[in-house]
Each structure stands twice: as structure tokens, then as C-alpha cells.
Amino acid sequence: MSSKQALARRQFIQTAALGAVAGASFLNQAAAQGSEVSAPAFTVGLDPKDANRPPFAAPDVVRPLRIADLNDLEAEARKVMDPGAFAFISSGSDSQWTLRENRRAFDRLVIKPQYLVGKAVPDLRTTLLGQSLSMPIITTPMGAHGLAHQSAEFGTARGTAEAGTLMEVSTTANRSIEEIAASTKGPKWFQLYLLEDQNKSRDLIKRAEAAGYSAIVFSIDAFAPGSSDATIRMGFQFPSSLPLVNAGGSPFKRSLSWDDVRFIQETTKLPLVLKGVLTAEMAQRALNHGVSAIQVSNHGGRQLDGVSSAIEALPAVAEVVQGRVPIIMDSGIRRGTDVFKALSLGANAVAIGRPVLYGLSLGGWMGVKSVYERLQAELTRDMMIAGVGSVAEFRREYVVKAAL
């Protein structure tokens, strides 16, 4: 290989690694091992080492937000965030078909209201794996909250707890899972990315147990990093000031199987939530393996582009589960009516992602709380008008497919 070719190949691998959503270690490792990656003749994008690039700075303001529609937050967050950080958070993988489907699929569903049923203000409270929540809406696991706000995961944990609900804390947090747990009295689950070294994975699970997390959320769809075109074009690199402190630099496990589910169950007595389930078959196997809950998710369209929206995957999973374990659904929830549709189609709760980080960037913990307050107000109004008195009253018949 000529030195010019070698340089082009190295640049490509570096650029590809920049696009890694879940961790660049996979591609770095491939590069180190010299595995074949076909190199294009040139790369497009900013040079991350460009001296004119401004230093990374996440916003620091703490204030409540007046929100009409959670969808508005993205444009506002873009104005205050580092452009690379915004691209990393907002984008989906590849052509973003799944990202768009996550929203479009809600538009193909129609609510059937029950009028004249004599219902007063609905009760949104619910319980999930023994945790009492103010509403059936929780914070999904996301890495690197420091990209959005100086308070990082502490801000999200406080905002979520002040709203009376639960946070799923990611392995790829910028703060240690012990510090995050100590910073909040709110309910919390630990989302696990398995590490290549099984002993280190075991340590991570034991640390989560000791820190007081009440469930382990095992994400099954991100063992190879997702890749967003926007972050590749921008040459986004995680700032060194925001290390992912919990994995201790260990590479993620690159091949997962049901043996890994068994390993986690043998390691801890904590309930296991399987996150990333998208099919009835997977749900059946999850039940066979005795999982405690299922999270229907396509990772917010950030992993395998082309998979179905999570809301469309939900009914088949609910059909298999038949209420035996709770179902949480995430990916694309932005409005009270989205929550209404998900609960009607069999979810016990939904999880929200990007709006939380946008709220965090615009208002710190208060911004996160405002996001929850808006969604809670919308869902309360929607349930009230549609004649649904409580979370337990949702029925599949309340939502039908739109006649297109």
C-alpha cells in the first residue's frame, strides 16, 4: 500500500470512528487489527483538529421552560448547543429512515374517544417493577449528558426526580453511576452495555447494585456503534473533557447472545429489562428467559436504519406478552397523544430521549422538569377528553390504523 493510500485509509477509519454513536472503540479496534475497511478516495467534513474550531462548551443556564410542543425544543436546543454535540444527539443512523418512521408511524394511528362516560380528571400515577411513578413516562438511557449541559447526568436525574418519575442511567454517562445515584432520591435503573471483559461487566453490575439501582436494563441493539452521517460530515469527536467514565476505557462486547442474558441473571438478583425488542419472536424468547420487563425500542433510529418504528412493533410484542411482564416503549414519543397511543397498544409506560436532553440544554434540571410537565399536561388533557380515567383503563380498541 502506498503511503498516500495508507493515509486515505487511516483518514477514512478515523472519520468513520467519529460517527460512532455507542463508542468508537469498535472501529479503533478494527483499525488496530488492520482489518479491511474499503477506503474512499477522499473524506468530506471538517478537520476535527482544525485550530479555528471553537473549544467545546456545553450550556450552563438553569430555568423553567415554557413549552407548547416538545417538537419545538429541537430547533431551540440547536441554537445553544455545540454543533457537533447537537448533530450527535439529534441525528439517526445512515439515511434516517427509521428516525423518520418513528414519527410518521404515530400519524398513521387514530384515537377512538369514549365520550359521555362520566370520567373526571384522570389519575396518571402508576407502578413499574415496584417503583411508584407520577406518570407512565420515564427517562430513557442516553450517553454523555455533558454534551447538553454542564450539570450532565446530575441535571437529568434531578429534573426527572422532581417530576416524580424514573431515570434509566446509561453505562456511557459522563458521571459515575455512584455519583448519579447519590445525587437523586428518585427511582433509577442502570442500563448496561456489556464489556468485552466479563469480569469488568460483572463489576459494573455489582457497582450498580451497591449504588442502589433497582433494575438492570440490558440494551441488545447497540453492540456495534451506530453511525450518523451528520457527525461524520462534521468530524464530531467526543471532547476529552467529557470522558465516558463508567466503562473504564474497556471496549464493548461485540457479539451478544441469550447466554449474555443468562450471565446477567446469574450475576444479579435485580430485575432485568431487555431493551431493544422489536419482534414477537424476540419477546417470546425474552419471556422464556424469565426477563422482568421488555423495552420495545429501535434506539431512537440510531442503530440499524431500516427497522420498523417502535410504535408499530409494539402490538405484536404486547400480543405475546399478554400482560405477564411490563412493557416500556420508546422511540419517537413527543406528544401526550403519542403516549396515549402507546398505552392503548399495550405499553405500561413510555420512555423519552432527545426531548430530555434538549430540555436539559435549554434549562438544566428545570428544563427537564418542564419537559415532563408539558407531556403530563398533554396526557392528562388527552385522557380526560377521550374518557380514560387511569393508566390501567387503556384498551387496544382505543387506537386504530388510519385509513390512508
Residues with active-site annotation: 299
374 contacts ligand FNR (rule: CB under 6 A): no
219 contacts ligand FNR (rule: CB under 6 A): yes
89 contacts ligand FNR (rule: CB under 6 A): yes
Tell me the closest approach of the beta carbon of residue 197 to ligand FNR, in angstroms.
19
**Which are the contacts of 257, defined by CB distance < 8 A and separation ≥ 6?**
none
Count the helix, strand and coil residues of the chain and give each as a percent rounded to the nearest 5.
Answer: 45, 15, 45
Is 173 in contact with 141 (CB distance < 8 Å)? no
d(CA 9, CA 13): 6
Nearer to ligand FNR, 27 or 352 (CB): 352
- Which residues within the stretch 116-175 sit at the binding site for ligand FNR (CB under 6 A)? 140-143, 170, 172
d(CA 302, CA 299): 6
Q: Which of 352, 371, 386, 388 is the binder for ligand FNR (CB under 6 A)?
A: 352
Site track for ligand FNR across 301-340, x = CB under 6 A? -x---------------------------xxxx-------
Tell me the closest approach of the beta carbon of residue 6 to ligand FNR, in angstroms.
33
* Phi-psi category of residue 387: left, alpha or beta, with phi > 0 → left and psi -120 to 50 → alpha: left
- Which residues within the stretch 251-290 sit at the binding site for ligand FNR (CB under 6 A)? 275
Q: Under rule CB under 6 A, how many of the chain's residues touch ligand FNR?
A: 22
Is 337 in contact with 129 (CB distance < 8 Å)? no
> Whose CB is nearest to ligand FNR?
353
353 contacts ligand FNR (rule: CB under 6 A): yes
Tell me the closest approach of the beta carbon of residue 300 to ligand FNR, in angstroms.
3
b/e burial code for range 171-195 (CB count within 10 A of at least 16 → b) = bbbbbebeebbebbebbbbbbbbbb
Tell me the closest approach of the beta carbon of residue 3 to ligand FNR, in angstroms.
37
d(CA 53, CA 59): 17
**How, if at all, do strands 131-133 and 126-128 pair?**
antiparallel
Site track for ligand FNR across 222-241, x = CB under 6 A? --------------------
